Structure 1
């Protein structure tokens, strides 16, 4: 959460309907459980709820949620659409030409916050309680990147002193008294770096390092060991287990800052490299590349293919300036990418206002029936997200968008095609062609989503418990490669006029 949002008023918890927003924690609960919502979206909601008595402009929201960064408006639109999908479209109103306003009556609760907000928790850090974050009223931080750090130290005084030094450097600090508590905190939150003592009861620092190294979720987490244990053997063992650095106690504040800044800079560089690969190839493809390097060639995989296009986009684009058409296309891409990635899919092709996505390749989903279901859920979410975007466009006097989706399941040949200088992840096969044909048929017949027989058969067993996966017969669609017509089924997400 940005510092501007972290400096929240005394009321940190708001309830509206079945939702509870814990502003200072960056947490949204639905029926008492964490809502499936990203941190940026929760920050957007927090900014709107805290200013619910007035309209909040787009520029103000961008400045609150992404302070100091240049962010396109369509990023904000994606998060607004995601929030409307979860909360209901009526809770966040678009005021044409002015911005957004939170419309629900939100009841604030100051008492509950006293035990759970970062402000109260920060006081606990000063008192020696593990697991809390510092108060917003901490001493002014020194210049430098702000990060979320986890101090794992069983000695109370050492833990307090180390946490205090890191707070004065401008970081948010959480602390754990032992390795098991540290693992729980890693599962519950996001941390940029860990400072780890070695000699602890229960689970030693060496054991915790081994656990982190064995779990690919935490393997890239930077760890700086802070220990009073002497000897190069201990240092070498820590480095072998993945530690980035080793500081002897008592820790010098200047040296600590230099080592922390260097580790965070290395982490950011690694993240930028991973993001660059994911941006052009997709997260799953980037992971596949990281694991095995570039391999020119394909392999046969069972997969589900989703083809999606924005109906009439070319004609719509001709009626607006090129810059607006480009921004609208980017917004569509963001919404469609989000729907696909939320269900484990990979967008492997973008041409004009159309995308193709794969489910089950390059990385398999938990079970074979999972790929058709994941694709169907992604299609349903894509339709809903575009509908929410249309509500905003209509309020601004702009024409709505319509999408058509085709889904087909079967064996494909997928892999990296190209050269070491430039490559792309490609899938070929009858299912790829059939998904495109079904998308065209959906566009012509006015359906939102059409699926083939293999996908419908996989969904049939799930529709009894998940009604949104039910399908209805929708005639026939041209088969791939002149094989003749194939049966088509409409997913129950509502027909499109």
Structure 2
């Protein structure tokens, strides 16, 4: 095995392919390859630990932290990687796990890619580094043990001994999660939850209640007051890690969704600006239209709150996939989401926009698969995803009144993406792309040409996984 190290700032090459962790890119023969984020994470874990075998349980824990994932999800990602890299690159050790077997070759670091165009400012984010958590518990021993357990997980932790101290600290500093005891002198856990719910700045803070109070009534009251989860004392360390990881991930997705929605609602012009410059231009871009098929049937059969929960979760997952691959959400309405790649943030090569759109689509499909597994565990019916992608010329720019503008687009490419998305309603081909998008993939993914009678115009289905 080579001594070449792979770090976030030092790409490494293995024969025909190269891995760039910082850019989250896999290149084959120097060209970027469309790869879902989970598949990339599996590859990164195996490469970083290529000096040893990696067990299946370790891979699942690192790639899907805090989630209950079936082993076949891991097998799907490994199978995808083997199709791209060759069966011999990832060896299976029966009953034990996987090992990355390709030898690394030293290389000069490639020149840094050109800086991406500046994005619109997002709401204030926490400082870089581990998430900061707050523990509120009047029992000093319990508090210290819980803080120590969280620190060993890699978090920054502060501890207080009562509810009043917790609220005061939360209003002074930014925390990502509160672990709250119920039985405390003065302001107890229930009172803290009530005050958090009434505070516009704190009501979205995730809260995990940790308590020795037994009974369904206490748990139900905590959830009704806004708590995200409930752990009985003594706290099981495995459950603690899973619930904390899950709560932090949900908060991250909510924050991203909120920021994106605010961008869409506010537009690019300041409130007191004069008539906005349209910035009208003909651009080469890719349009992704995602459809949540079967929403009408779900709304008719399921309770209203279940329908809205499914819709909200679907929007959150789709927003995250678009943002992760450099896209901009252009339209959200009911069961439809439209995203642009290559506009208004232009890319040097239009083919890069098409490949980014396909990578986002693959991640969307992966997220919906895991979302459906979670819904099945709660005896909820699955949701179905359909995605149409078209690439080509758009007329784009800003429209609206002086106090409210939005970036919008029009043209045959937009209409073609919508028409392709409709074709996915039969659920046989969840991701379908037009001929220009397929040409940009250059054979880097497994695709299937759709019959001309079914879909004229050189459409191809992309195999997700």
**Band the TM-score falls in, shorter-chain normalisation:** 0.3 to 0.5
Q: Which has the higher helix share?
A: 1
Flag the structure with larger Rg: 1
Greater relative contact order, per chain length (Cα 8 Å cut-off, separation 6+)? 2
> What TM-score, normalized by structure 1, do the two folds share?
0.44
TM-score normalised to structure 2 length = 0.47
